[in-house]
Chains A and B, each alone.
Chain A
């Protein structure tokens, strides 16, 4: 599932810092314009016609990985970051690019300061009890 085929042993340690500076993947951008800050539990859904993102030369391998991960099931921003082993800030920018390209879309979680429906909370309680 993870796209990194690097089997080489790490001769450097964490002190060395990242070998590729993470924001190099975003070409130095730390925010994506026109995009609200993505919540960690916002879900990223691959668009149905995003079948072959590899064919798009403007996309980086990380972009392609994100679309790939989202294709089977929607993925939260947090899960994508963990799955790709990239900082959240980087993943946010990459997702912003994909939204712009209409390859994925993002569902908004329940708006802040607004608790979900009481019925949803009841479902959560019964769901937890049934675990």
Chain B
């Protein structure tokens, strides 16, 4: 890190940056949720994955299969000039778990979006955050046409720790998403305040 910066002139404000992850199955509304509150249209970053361990020059004839692109959509909320929250939609496919580790490092917390018609799609995400003791909230995205279930039923179906908040939400609705995010931060605070619980409940 470089410390010899001159202080003269207009130094741009350097905000504190925080991130919240948005996980869940494919098509559950992660990018919609990010877009509902982001001040920018959700941006897409890509990470190229090369088959690790292969010699670098071994490219003959298989170029097309050498790399996979994993996309992550993210949005930004400037809460104050010096406080910026980023929301990252996690890659949907299970085989990219190792990318989650990087995303999850330093994350404030996470939202696991669930669709009651395909609840099993979010099992993997719930499991991931539980194992890494990352505070998370389950947001049940209330799709039109899907039957509504009480939050308690969802909690039971997911076998969640009683401390994990379950909220019904509409990923398209800004107010609704704001509430979900507030819930995540509150849960993170409570989580940090209490003793770190062990996995066996």
Same complex: yes
The interface size of chain A toward B, counting residues with CB under 8 Å, comes to 51
Q: Which of chain A's residues have a CB closer than 8 A to the CB of B64?
A: 15, 17
A/B pair count, beta carbons within 8 Å = 140
Q: Which residues of B contact A113 (CB under 8 A)?
A: 106
Decide if A74 touches B12 in the complex (CB within 8 Å): yes
**24 A-B pairs in the complex with CB atoms less than 8 angstroms apart:** A37-B102, A39-B105, A39-B106, A40-B74, A40-B86, A42-B17, A43-B15, A74-B15, A79-B43, A87-B48, A87-B69, A88-B47, A102-B4, A109-B18, A109-B106, A110-B18, A115-B108, A116-B16, A116-B108, A120-B83, A123-B83, A128-B182, A131-B37, A131-B77
Known: A28-B56, A73-B12, A116-B16. A127 touches B79 (CB 8 A): yes
Give the Cβ gap from A57 to chain B, nearest Cβ, in Å. 22
Distance in angstroms from A33 CB to nearest chain B CB is 15
B5 CB within 8 Å of chain A: yes
B5 touches A81 (CB 8 A): no
A residues within 8 A CB of B37?
131
Q: What secondary structure prevails in chain B residues at the interface with A?
A: mixed
Which residues of chain B are within 8 angstroms of A82 by Cβ–Cβ distance?
Answer: 43-45, 74
B188 to A115, Cβ gap below 8 A?
yes
Interface residues of A (CB under 8 A from B): 15, 17, 22, 28, 37, 39-43, 45, 47-49, 72-74, 76, 78-79, 81-83, 87-90, 99, 102, 105-113, 115-116, 118, 120-125, 127-129, 131
Q: How far is the CB of B68 from chain A (nearest CB, A)?
A: 11
The answer to whether B178 and A131 touch across the interface, beta carbons within 8 angstroms, is yes
CB atoms of B185 and A81 under 8 A apart: no
Question: How many Å lie between the Cα of A35 and that of B2 in the bound state?
Answer: 12
Q: How far is the CA of A41 from the CA of B77 in the complex (A)?
A: 13
Q: Which residues of B contact A42 (CB under 8 A)?
A: 17
A105 partner residues in chain B, CB cutoff 8 A: 1-2, 5
CB of B17 within 8 A of CB of A41, answer: yes
User: In the complex the two chains form, is B79's CB within 8 Å of A48's CB?
Assistant: no
Known contacts A41-B19, A48-B9; A89/B47 CB under 8 A: yes
Q: Let me know if A45 and B67 touch, CB within 8 A.
A: no
In the complex formed, the residue of A with least CB distance to B46 is A87
Q: How far is the CA of A72 from the CA of B182 in the complex (A)?
A: 30
| Bound-complex Cα distance A24 to B72 (A) | 23
Taking CB atoms, residues of chain B closer than 8 Å to A88 are 45-47
Nearest CB in chain A to that of B66: its residue: A17
Q: Contact check, A118 vs B1: say whether CB atoms are below 8 A apart.
A: no
- Contacts A116-B16, A128-B181; is A81 near B45 (CB within 8 Å)? yes
